[in-house]
Every structure is written in C-alpha cells, then in structure tokens.
C-alpha cells in the first residue's frame, strides 16, 4: 500500500471532508474510555484545537490501548467522519494506531489539568506541550512574521548586527563579558590590570546590549534598516518584565526626525496587533479565557477594566497619546498616588526618572490608552540622543503600554559631530573606542532616528501573559540558566 502522507490537524479541522482517509501524528492530550469505545484528544501543535480520535475498543490490542496515555505520541490511520458528539464537527474513526513513544502516567509531569505557571517554569523543557505555551509560541511566530512583512513592505532591509562586540551601546555597564582567558590564571599587565591583549579578540569584549550603533552605520548607507536579534543585559532586575537575554527589533531610518519615528513606531505596533487579531483568532480566544480566569482570582481593585481581546481591539482602533516628559511630570506630580505617597518612588522635580509604576499610572489611570512620552531630560538618557535647542532635553521617545509600561525606546540621533563629541566627553566615553561610529558623522552625516521594541514585552502584551518568563522558551534571569 502507498504510504499515506501525514496531514496536520489544523488543516484537517479547517477543510477536512467526511470520508477522507488520513494519517495524523501527534501527542495525546486526554483519553476517555468505556467498554466499547475510547475517545482520544490528539494535538500536533499546528492549532490549539485537538482532533478527536474514536477507537473501537474491542478491535485493538489491550496492551496497546493501555499505552495511549496523556503525553504519549501516536501515528494514526483512520477515516474522517462527522462527529456525533458536541464540541467538534469532525472526528477520526481510527483504523490503526501505533504508539511512537510512551509517556508513563506515573512519571510524565503534565497531566490534563491546569498547572501553575511557576511549576511549568521548572519543567520548561516540557511546557511547550501545554495549550498555553503552544498558543504563546504560535502567536509569537505570527508576530515575527508580521514584523518582517511590515518592514519589507516599507522597503526596509533586514540587517544582522554582531552579538559579540567591544561596545556598550547604552553605556549602562550592564554587559556580559566574553572571554577565553583562563579564569584561574588570568594574565596581568605590568600595572597589574587584566591583560586583554592575550584574550581571544585582543581586547575587552562582551555580548551586545543593542544592535543600534551598528544599525546606524547601515542606515547611513542604505536609508532604512532593521535588526531583529538577541540582546543581553546583566541587569539584576528580578521583575516580570526583565530578561537577561531578550530579542529586540531595532529599525533605524536615515532622514527621519523624532515625529516620523513616533509615527513609525505607532504604525508598527498597531499593525502587529491587527495582524494578531486577524490571524491568531483561536489562540487569542483561548488566551483571553485564560486571562479572564486569572483576573477573577485577583482582588476587585486590581482587575483590569478590559479583557485581553478588548485591549487588543482598543489598541488597533485608537491613536496613542503623545505627551512631553515635562507635561507628564506635572501630571504625575499632582497625581493622587504621588500626593498620598502611594508611589514607591515619589516624583519631586523635573529631571526625575520615571519608574514603571509612573508609566503605568499615565497609561492605565490617566490617559487610559497607550502613551508616547518624548523630549526627556538629557541626564537620564544615552549619549547618542540628539540634543534639543533648550539645552536640557534630548529628542527621545518611549512608547508605554497598559500592563507593560515601556515597550519601545528610541530617539533621534545626534548627527552633529561636535555635539556628539562634547556629549561623549561629558559622559566619559572615550572617543577612540567609538571612532568608527564618529566616522559616520565625519562623512556624509544626515539626520536619522530609530527605536528598539522589546519583542518579548510585545508578546506579553498580545498574549496577556503576566510574566515575561512565560513568553520565551528558555528564560534567562538572575540565577537561572537551566536547560
């Protein structure tokens, strides 16, 4: 007999016809069994929905049937039929079944019930088998696809910037060192310092915190580029929004000013959300229900006013609010939580940095929509941001989202060589180390701008997952580099 090719469950549920002979493969979610018939819910990750298998119990070997348990993998041949039961339109009447791999019920940690996310993090190697993580992975894939499509349609080039680098683009000193030196026997110079000349790259190197500086080099040659890759930060923040390894999308545009950049960021974010609403319906419905159940467990005053789907629709349909840092500080200073000292960090004066509690107040309580803050004090921002004429602020912007806080950070870049050099000197950044960067200002400099989107934070927003550790397969956080 000719081998029947495997059909994915998503395709079967979308356009399968009663009477079709099919081969399906996947993992058992649940099995219900009576004397004559067993119902098995099979999932292959192509969709959140399971295919119901109907097994004629007297016709199959007892031993084989016993091996069909939650988590076991099957290869099945059968005939598609209209389902008699509620809950599905089609089911597969099994003609033959092979157990590819058993999952012994006494040992397999995933059972057909809701496990806590904390427990699932401990078994991150198996959690992709759950409905929740399957849904998150599929949405994440669609969001990456949407990003590439968005930029491709606009004529942006996808550029790969290095992961190993000698620069600290953000200048925050939160880099992970890269070395091949023997740490038990570190070579020293005559002065007693570490002799990096003997290291692999013959200089101090680290993992990149951002592809921006190299991205700028490309934008100043081909106009519009974006990077999309892993970035690494040794911030010791154990929060629900920080990872030590996360992915960033960084577009960089020649001839864009700050307004153009805010327009692009808003258009991109709303494009992504619309794409999710259109292309991830089943998964979002599942995640919406999951988020609703989670909300119900919270005290009334902490519950969000909108469901996940309502929040996504709201972002798709409404323009973001644009507010200057100076106006935002006034709003925050006069706000109830500031007056009543409810904020952990009180806002005293112009120049204070905003914490996530302030960002979320502006978005969730004050404006009740995504907010773009712009023109920040230069003292709290990176060296490369363009200085405004007021001599106090730089042309920076952050996009703030409900439930997340900062999701995008960007700026117009300082394209004037003299200004850039002055700022670097003020911030003690040696110009020798960035001579290649300064060269772009020496030769054919142009006004240009860009921003970075934290990809996992975006996935958190779209999936409604409260903790960033649950939207990346293998989260890296302080003290945690398992798997």
Residue holding tokens 């890269």? 178
Q: How many residues bind ligand 4AD (CB under 6 A)?
A: 23
H-run or E-run covering 196: none
Q: Is 130 in the site for ligand 4AD (CB under 6 A)?
A: no
Residues in contact with ligand 4AD, shown as a per-residue x/- string from 210 to 229 under the rule CB under 6 A: x-x-----------------
Specify whether the CB–CB gap between 215 and 253 falls below 8 A.
no
Nearer residue to ligand 4AD within complex by CB, 246 or 376: 246
Between CA 327 and CA 322 the distance in angstroms is 10
Among 16, 78, 370, 450, binds ligand 4AD (CB under 6 A): 450
Residue 389 burial by Cβ neighbours in a 10 Å radius (0-12, 13-18, 19+)? exposed
Q: Which of 71, 57, 64 is nearest to 105 (CA)?
A: 71
246 contact, one of ligand 4AD, Mg ion, none, CB 5-8 Å limit per kind: ligand 4AD
**Interface positions, 390-409, toward Mg ion (CB under 5 A):** 409
**Interface positions, 203-232, toward Mg ion (CB under 5 A):** none
The tokens describing 162, both together, are 């290095």
**Interface positions, 161-180, toward ligand 4AD (CB under 6 A):** 169-170
Among 409, 447, 464, 475, binds ligand 4AD (CB under 6 A): 409
Q: Is 448 in the site for ligand 4AD (CB under 6 A)?
A: no
Among 9, 136, 408, 420, binds ligand 4AD (CB under 6 A): 408
Fill in the DSSP letter of residue 301: G
Cα–chain center distance at 323:
26
Between CA 47 and CA 16 the distance in angstroms is 14
**Interface positions, 227-286, toward ligand 4AD (CB under 6 A):** 233, 235, 242-243, 246, 248, 250
Residues 395-430: b if buried by 16+ CB within 10 A, e if exposed: bbbbbbbbbbbbbbbbbbbbbeeeebbebbeeeebe
Q: How far is the CB of 170 from Mg ion (least distance, A)?
A: 8
**Interface positions, 68-107, toward Mg ion (CB under 5 A):** none
Nearer residue to ligand 4AD within complex by CB, 129 or 233: 233
Q: Which of 308, 279, 278 is nearest to 293 (CA)?
A: 308
Specify whether the CB–CB gap between 226 and 196 falls below 8 A.
no
**Interface positions, 407-426, toward Mg ion (CB under 5 A):** 409
Strand order in the sheet with 205-207: 164-165, 205-207, 177-178
Q: Is 406 in the site for ligand 4AD (CB under 6 A)?
A: yes
Residue holding tokens 């700026």? 411
Taking each helix axis from N to C end, the angle separating 258-279 and 455-463, rounded to the nearest 10 degrees, works out to 40
Q: How far is the CB of 413 from ligand 4AD (least distance, A)?
A: 8
Among 29, 129, 457, 476, binds ligand 4AD (CB under 6 A): 457
Output the residue with the shortest Cβ distance to Mg ion: 409
Q: How far is the CB of 263 from ligand 4AD (least distance, A)?
A: 15
What residues make contact with Mg ion under the rule CB under 5 A? 409
- Binding residues for ligand 4AD, rule: CB under 6 A, are 169-170, 210, 212, 233, 235, 242-243, 246, 248, 250, 406-411, 450-452, 454, 456-457
């Amino acid at each position: 007999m000719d081998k029947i090719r495997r059909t994915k469950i998503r395709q079967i549920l979308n356009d399968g016809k009663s009477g079709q002979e099919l081969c399906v493969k996947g993992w058992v979610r649940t099995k219900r069994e009576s004397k004559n018939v067993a119902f098995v819910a099979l999932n292959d990750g192509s969709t959140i929905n399971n295919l119901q298998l109907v097994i004629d119990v007297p016709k199959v070997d007892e031993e084989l049937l016993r091996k069909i348990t939650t988590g076991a993998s099957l290869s099945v041949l059968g005939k598609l039929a209209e389902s008699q039961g509620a809950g599905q339109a089609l089911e597969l009447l099994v003609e033959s079944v092979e157990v590819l791999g058993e999952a012994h019920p006494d040992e397999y940690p995933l059972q057909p019930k809701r496990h806590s996310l904390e427990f699932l993090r401990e078994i991150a190697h198996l959690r992709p088998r759950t409905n929740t993580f399957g849904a998150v992975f599929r949405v994440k894939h669609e969001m990456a696809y949407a990003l590439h499509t968005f930029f491709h349609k606009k004529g942006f080039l996808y550029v790969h910037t290095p992961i190993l680098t000698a620069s600290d683009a953000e200048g925050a000193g939160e880099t992970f060192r890269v070395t091949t030196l023997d740490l038990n026997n570190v070579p020293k110079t005559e002065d007693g310092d570490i002799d990096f000349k003997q290291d692999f790259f013959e200089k101090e190197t680290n993992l990149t915190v951002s592809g921006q500086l190299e991205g700028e080099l490309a934008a100043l040659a081909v106009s519009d580029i974006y990077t999309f890759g892993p970035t690494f930060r040794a911030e010791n923040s154990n929060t629900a929004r920080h990872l030590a390894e996360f992915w960033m999308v960084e577009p960089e545009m020649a001839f864009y000013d700050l307004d153009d950049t805010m327009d692009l960021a808003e258009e991109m974010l709303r494009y992504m959300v619309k794409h999710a609403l259109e292309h991830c319906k089943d998964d979002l419905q599942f995640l919406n229900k999951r988020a609703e159940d989670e909300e119900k467990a919270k005290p009334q005053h902490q519950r969000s006013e909108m469901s996940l789907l309502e929040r996504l629709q709201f972002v798709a349909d409404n323009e973001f609010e644009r507010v200057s840092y100076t106006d935002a500080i006034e709003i925050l200073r006069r706000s109830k939580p500031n007056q009543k000292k409810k904020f952990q960090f009180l806002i005293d004066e112009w120049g204070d940095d905003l914490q996530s509690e302030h960002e979320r107040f502006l978005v969730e309580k004050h404006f009740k929509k995504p907010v773009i803050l712009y023109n920040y004090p230069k003292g709290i921002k990176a060296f490369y941001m363009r200085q405004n004429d007021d001599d106090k602020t730089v042309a920076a912007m952050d996009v703030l989202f409900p439930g997340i806080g900062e999701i995008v950070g960007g700026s117009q870049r300082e394209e004037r060589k003299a200004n850039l050099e002055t700022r670097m000197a003020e911030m003690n950044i040696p110009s020798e180390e960035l001579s290649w960067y300064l060269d772009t200002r020496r030769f054919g400099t142009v006004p240009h701008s860009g921003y970075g989107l934290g990809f996992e934070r975006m996935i958190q927003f779209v999936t409604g997952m409260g903790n960033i550790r649950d939207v990346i397969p293998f989260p890296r956080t302080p003290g945690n580099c398992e798997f």
